[in-house]
Amino acid sequence: MRSIQLIDLLVLIFYMGLMLGIGLYFRRFMKGANEYFAGGNMIPWWVGGISLYMSSFTAWTFTGAAGFVYHTGWFGVLYFLSWPVSYFFGYRLTAARWRRSRVLSPVEYVSTRFNPLTQRILSYVLVTSGLLTRGITLVAVCKIISASVGWRMDYMIIGTGLVMLLYTLHGGLWAVSITDVVQFIFLFVITVIVTPLSIQHVGGFHALVQKLPPVTLHHEYAGMPYDLHYILAFLLVNFLNANWGAAQRFYSVKDERDAKRVGLFCSALFLTAPILFGLPPLAAKLIWPDLSAVPFFSQSSRPEDLIYLGIVLTWIPNGMIGFFIAAMFAATMSSLSGAYNVDSSIIARDLYKGMIKPDATNEEVLRVGKMATVCLGLITIVTALIYAKSALGIFNLMVVFVSLFQVPIAVPMVFGLIFRKPCRQAALASMMSGLAAGFILRFIVGWTVGPQIYGMIVISLVVLLVYHLIRPDSKLDREIVERFFTKLSTPVNVVQEVLAGGKKKMISAYPVVGVNTVLIGLVITLLVLIPSAGELKQVNLFAGGFLVIIGALFYFLGQRQNRRRNLL
């Protein structure tokens, strides 16, 4: 197993410089809140699809999730399989509706579909749940970097958190989306190399299947039980997330057709998850059956969280190791920045403009959003420092917070877009009932995660659908709801609503992605010149050459797109 060398640290600095450069590049286009929070509704559908996919893949995927697969075997792969299924069926319900809602934050529509009080309380709950979960993502990437280079975890959390905060502050949703694409291309190349090499080491896929125990549906991980109910419950959670958590990517494209393409493309990309992120930890289970006997893993209190990093250090040459660490850093940076962007839009649009100063200008809303981003980033650093010492582990921490907060929020928000029947007061009652049910079922009744999620969904949905029997809408309320659904049934007029003011000439994603991908490919190719490349020079040449070709293709497409625009 290789160790981190100076070349890896230099590559890390180079890669992060590129990502920060993208943020600074898009800063000049952020003229107002619409551009900062929704990309001016000009995010290309393929960029939105990749960005939505990448928002689910942070360093947590390569630490907590990889450790979960290592511990539970094929059961963990079933967890990854739930993603493409739930996203495929999920996006079909609400992608077009989100675009037609014509909002700049996920809860903006709540004020008219339900009422301002629901919008206000939902904003508080969303921001609070975000503050509780963002630190887990930050801890995950810092665990990888700290284990790689031997730096103190608390210093890593503070330094990494500040860099991510600065990056987010400048570029808005465009910077988030474009860096997602660059990171996707590079991470795809890395995982395509790592997966077959790790499987080959254990004798091939057939040998992997034969040597591993068959799938079992009952496991305990860090003191928490997991069974078939957990898989089915998180299939439902991801289904809700495909309709609610993906909202920003749906309303940031130009029309409802592109919104559907975002969801379909993302669900197709998720088909790669069980292979690229599930199989390497399974191979590691055979390669290192006793982690305590391997010096690299024995240094950690949660050694299974370092499984994927151990695989990379074994089969990836120095230099590219630095790129992998940088990509993990950047993917987490992008995920956090996307979360900061959503939460700051809620604070600026829904709380500040909606409650404090309704006549706030576009520039004021943008300024408040940026100040909110700073506060969110600093609080995330503090919570990450706390989570770094938790005995639960980062996988269990994420499961606990997602199960408690995401379900009761998502149920009324998703079904409020679909059904006219829920009255305007029903969402608040549904959300509060679901939150209360989650805490009671988990901490008082003592149910496991799966049944807990079932109970929360049933209670939230029943309250949402029958609350009108207790407090029916007035005639005015019914008229407001009807106007809202009339808007949802009205297609977006791209010419009038999006392209006004010459926006069609504003930004092309292809050249930015192309140039940065070519630069990364050239650097990887040049790594064959360092002595430590050794017998793995072919890996450098394959990865570098592939990235140069892909980057050149993107650049060519960008130039052709610009020529067409100039003819219009």
- Write out the DSSP string of 402-419: IIIIIHHHHHHHHHHHH-
39 Cβ neighbours under 8 A, 6+ residues apart: 172, 173, 174, 177, 252
Residue holding tokens 């088909």?
A: 271
Give per-residue pLDDT as tens, 329-371: 766 766 676 677 677 777 887 778 877 888 888 778 878 877 8
Confidence label for 434 from pLDDT (cuts 50, 70 and 90):
very high
pLDDT score of 566: 59
* CA pair distance 139, 142, nearest whole angstrom: 5
Average pLDDT over residues 77-96: 87
Res. 501: pLDDT tops 70: no
pLDDT score of 79: 87
pLDDT score of 61: 80
Give per-residue pLDDT as tens, 229-282: 999 998 998 898 888 878 878 888 889 999 999 999 999 999 998 999 899 999
pLDDT score of 56: 72
End-to-end CA, the chain: 56
- The pTM of the full predicted model, rounded to 2 decimals, is 0.81
Give per-residue pLDDT as tens, 127-172: 888 788 888 878 877 877 777 677 788 888 888 778 767 666 655 5
Res. 379: pLDDT tops 80: yes
- The CATH homologous superfamily of the domain defined by 6-385+472-498: Sodium/glucose cotransporter (1.20.1730.10)
Mean pLDDT over all residues of the chain? 83
Confidence label for 423 from pLDDT (cuts 50, 70 and 90):
very high
Res. 83: pLDDT tops 80: yes
More reliable by pLDDT, 289 or 182? 289
Q: Which long-range contacts (CB under 8 A, 24 or more apart) does 467-473 make?
A: 467/422, 467/423, 467/425, 467/426, 467/429, 467/430, 468/421, 468/422, 468/423, 468/426, 471/423, 471/425, 472/423, 473/423, 473/424, 473/425
By the 8 A CB rule, do 343 and 126 touch? yes
More reliable by pLDDT, 509 or 496? 496
Average pLDDT over residues 467-474: 92
Res. 567: pLDDT tops 60: no
Confidence label for 482 from pLDDT (cuts 50, 70 and 90):
very high
pLDDT score of 487: 92
What is the helix (H) or strand (E) element at residue 224, kind and residue range?
strand 224-227
Res. 52: pLDDT tops 90: no
